[in-house]
Amino acid sequence: MCPICGERDYTEFRYGGDATKPRPSRETADPKVWHDYVFLFDNPKGLHREYWQHVLGCRQWLVLERNTATNEPGESRLARMDVVTCEGEPK
Amino acid sequence: MRPRYSALSLLRHAVAETPWPRAWRVPDPKPTYDVVIIGGGGHGLATAYYLAAHHGIKDIAVVERAYIGSGNLGRNTTLVRSNYVLDGNTQFFEYSMKLWEGLSHELNFNVMLSQRGQIVLAHGPSQMDVLARKGNIMRLNGIDAELLDRGEVIKLLPYLDHSGEARFPICGGLFQQRAGTVRHDAVAWGYARAADSLGVDVIENCEVNSFVIDGDRVRGVNTTRGRISAGRTAIAVAGHSSHLAAMAGLRLPIESHLLQAFVSEPIKPFLDHVISFGAELFYISQSDKGGLVFGGHIDGFNSYTQRGQFPKVQTVAECAVALIPSISRLRLLRHWAGIQDMTPDGSPFICRTPLRDLYLNGGWCYQGFKATPAVGWCFAHTIANDDEHPLSRCYSLDRFARGRELDDYGVGNWTYKQ
């Protein structure tokens, strides 16, 4: 489901990774914080929030809620409207 | 002690009226063990076997949620090979290849290793350079590798599309003669039977719900069949590694993805080798029953469903027909999916964890099956000695923090692109 184009086939979309992790602020110097942000995943079995791009449609980046145990999709919204941007920085 | 399998015992049994005895026991879990291994796949069973056979630890339970070999061991395309590039991977997978070569004797169980050879194809001069480099690295490590030119590939694999119409013309390939296939179910049964005869309890239908944690130490597991205390606990549950680790409060560099495999209706023998397409990730071989067994990339998004997506079926079938046009009329008999641990660099973990007495084997991406014997060998060493085996030291959990990624395909830090 694309918030702009409506319900579209899943082959029009491309997966773009975990959207639950807030990006550390640019001033963060602690390598552990960056390590955890870049390399570690919750990888839940159940509800998850992830980035998808509507590559064969409006090309917008989306944040989709999906159940990884059933593949059932939930809400989607434009990624730029999502709260998960840089921590401590204006959106 | 179970009877050894041999030509003589087979003959004797042909005239006997009693059925063969069970190949392994069906024990109830004891309240406590020296070592509990979670996961009755190839990796868990092999680890139990090598612990019992080579490290003198016999008080072991392997707990499996369903039946043994019901996870990725029964879902792969049964290929074994050792054509890697990076130090660490090259030596580890070659050691695994050597263990495969002696495995049927070691286990007294025919795992049906068939060293039919694998050919990775090149479709352009730059790809030939890459394969030449790979072949040189293999040969410098004492692994057999032979660079084939176009004429040699045509001679060896005449049924590929060598015409001018081929979308990806074949320039040559890299041939590893010792690579091949192994019957995957026999690996589960062989290791289970051998481990069981050394006293290991293989406990099926026993799911782990949580760990028994005491401070920074793991002291056992709570299962659907009660609490089992353990001196040491080992995780070997590829696909669900993150799920288990989360029960111990750990986050791993792993995402779970789906990989599909396919088998066609059986046909007469015509595909004598294992062939890997160079233009896409695609690999094909023919099973002893005659079906063509093949697979491609992961589906592309994380999922625990064990159900493949149809668009991937089309992509993989297109690869098959682009490579071997003569199979375009074959019908697909079955396709299925397994859940795999994908890591940011495409390499696995065989290591200690931040918790004491808890050990992790996981993150196997595409390569878990071929690694099975070496995983058992190295993971058993890690558990027995509370230290990594020299061959698997590179597969530590902190390698990203130390800048020691092992990205054999040079993909970069994306689990879903590895």
Of B256, B400, B401, the CB nearest to A43: B256
| A49 reaches B (C-beta below 8 A) | no
Nearest to A69 among B305, B400, B413 (CB): B305
Q: Is A72 on the interface with B (CB under 8 A)?
A: no
Minimal CA separation from B305 to chain A, in Å = 5
- pLDDT tier for residue A90 given thresholds of 50, 70 and 90: very low
SS3 for chain B is CCCCCCHHHHHHHHHCCCCCCCCCCCCCCCCEEEEEEECCCHHHHHHHHHHHHHCCCCCEEEECCCCCCCCHHHCCCCEECCCCCCCCHHHHHHHHHHHHHHHHHHHCCCCCCECCCEEEEECCHHHHHHHHHHHHHHHHCCCCCEEEEHHHHHHHCCCCCCCCCCCCCCCEEEEECCCEECCHHHHHHHHHHHHHHCCCEEECCCCEEEEEEECCEEEEEEECCEEEEEEEEEECCCCCHHHHHHHCCCCECCEEEEEEEEEECCCCCCCCCEEEECCCCEEEEECCCCCEEEEEEEEEEECCCCCCCHHHHHHHHHHHHHHCHHHCCCCEEEEEEEEEEECCCCCCEEEECCCECEEEEECCCCCHHHHHHHHHHHHHHHHHHCCCCHHHHHHCCCCCCCCCCCCCCCCCCCHHHC
Q: What count of Cα atoms within 13 Å lies in the side-chain half-sphere of residue B206?
A: 26
Residue A38, chain B, CB below 8 Å: the answer is yes
Q: A15 and B301 in contact by Cβ < 8 A?
A: yes
Chain B residue numbers with beta carbons less than 8 Å from the beta carbon of A31 are: 401
Question: How far A68 CA sits from the closest chain B CA (Å)?
Answer: 5
Summarised one tens digit per residue, pLDDT across range A26-69 is 999 999 999 999 999 999 999 999 999 999 999 999 999 999 99
| Nearest-CA distance A89 → chain B (Å) | 25
**Which CATH number goes with the domain that contains A72?**
3.30.2270.10
A67 belongs to a structural domain: yes
Answer yes or no: is pLDDT of A84 > 60.
Answer: no
Confirm or reject contact between B329 and chain A (CB < 8 A): no
For helices B184-197 and B368-385, angle between their N-to-C axes, nearest 10 degrees: 20
| B118 in reach of chain A (CB within 8 A) | no
Domain for residue A5, yes or no? Answer: no
Contact A43 B252 (CB under 8 A): yes
Please name the residue of chain A whose CA is at the shortest distance from the CA of residue B300: A15
Asked if the model's pLDDT at residue A85 lies above 60, the reply is no
Task: Kindly list the residues from chain B whose CB atom is less than 8 angstroms away from the CB atom of residue A68.
Answer: 256, 302-305
Distance from CA of B412 to the nearest CA of A (A): 12
Residue A88 placed within a domain: no
* A90 min Cα distance to partner chain B (Å): 27
Query: At residue A82, does pLDDT exceed 80?
Result: no
Decide if A59 is inside a domain: yes
Choose the closest CB to A43 out of B254, B305, B401.
B254
Chain B residues 301-320 within an 8 A CB cutoff of chain A: 301-305, 307, 309, 311
Structural domains counted in chain A: 1
Q: Which one of B255, B300, B304 has the shortest CB-CB distance to A69?
A: B304
Instruction: Check CB contact under 8 Å for A45 and B302.
Output: no
Query: Is A56 domain-assigned?
Result: yes
Give the chain A residue nearest B246 (alpha carbons): A42
Handedness of CA B368, B369, B375, B376 (dihedral sign): positive
Mutate to test the interface with A, among B301, B343, B353 (most CBs of A within 10 A): B301
Interface contact flag, B243 A14, Cβ < 8 Å: no
Give a yes or no: residue A4 inside a domain: no
Are the beta carbons of B180 and B274 closer than 8 angstroms? Answer: yes
Asked if A70 lies within 8 A of B305 by C-beta distance, the reply is: yes
Give the domain range for residue A59.
10-81
B250 CB within 8 Å of a chain A CB: no
Residue A39 has its nearest CB partner, among B304, B307, B400, at B400
- Each residue's pLDDT expressed in tens, for chain B with a length of 418 residues: 567 899 999 898 889 888 888 999 999 999 999 999 999 999 999 999 999 999 999 999 999 999 999 999 999 999 999 999 999 999 999 999 999 999 999 999 999 999 999 999 999 999 999 999 999 999 999 999 999 999 999 999 999 999 989 989 999 999 999 999 999 999 999 999 999 999 999 999 999 999 999 999 999 999 999 999 999 999 999 899 999 999 999 999 999 999 999 999 999 999 999 999 999 999 999 999 999 999 999 998 999 998 899 999 999 999 999 999 999 999 999 999 999 999 999 999 999 999 999 999 999 999 999 999 999 999 999 999 999 999 999 999 999 999 999 998 888 888 888 8
Give the pLDDT score at B160. Answer: 96
Confidence of residue A87 (pLDDT cuts 50, 70, 90): low
B-chain residues near A69 (CB < 8 A): 304-305
Query: Which domains, from first to last, does chain B contain?
Result: 25-82+84-109+184-254+345-417 (3.50.50.60), 118-180+256-341 (3.30.9.10)
Answer whether B251 sits within 8 Å of A40, measured CB to CB: yes
Kindly state whether A30 is in contact with chain B, defined as any CB-CB distance less than 8 angstroms.
no
Domain assignment present for residue A24? The answer is yes
Would you call B304 and A45 a contact, using CB atoms and an 8 Å cutoff? yes
Does a structural domain hold residue A26?
yes
Q: What is the pLDDT of residue B416?
A: 85
Tokens, residue A42: 């919750």
Provide the shortest C-alpha distance from residue A45 to chain B (in Å): 6
Task: State the nearest Cα–Cα gap between A67 and chain B, in angstroms.
Answer: 8
What tokens appear for B22 in the block?
A: 């069970």
Q: Which residues on B lie below 8 Å from A42 (Cβ)?
A: 242, 246, 251
Q: Residue A89's pLDDT is what? A: 52
Tell whether A14 is within 8 A of chain B (Cβ).
yes
